Amino acid sequence: MSKLQLQHLNKTYSASVVPVKDLSLAVGDGEFLTLLGPSGCGKSTILRMIAGLEQPTRGEVVIGDRPVTHVPPGDRNIAMVFQSYALYPHLSV
């Protein structure tokens, strides 16, 4: 696994809803990170921005030495497992 860096990451939905404000962190190769907090504090938003499912309002996501903020989710070489099983109701197996 490559190093993950979040550099001054922000996500704003409206003037009154800012779940992520100026978040900077680095997770090294082989390290673990736990996101812990109450409902609505931005945990899922952070994961969605890392995975590329949501664009940050400002800031940069870097995987390895590669900035991936504007790279499509499928090209980031990263995966995310959702809590809910009904991910894509329009698809079938």
Confidence of residue 61 (pLDDT cuts 50, 70, 90): very high
- Distance, CA of 73 to CA of 78 (rounded, Å): 8
Please, what are the domains in the chain? Answer: 4-75 (3.40.50.300)
Span 10-39, average pLDDT: 94
10 contacts: CB under 8 Å, gap ≥ 6: 18, 20, 21, 22, 23, 56, 57, 58, 59
pLDDT number for residue 86: 60
Does residue 47 have a pLDDT over 90? yes
Does residue 92 have a pLDDT over 80? no
For residue 74, give the 3-state DSSP assignment: helix
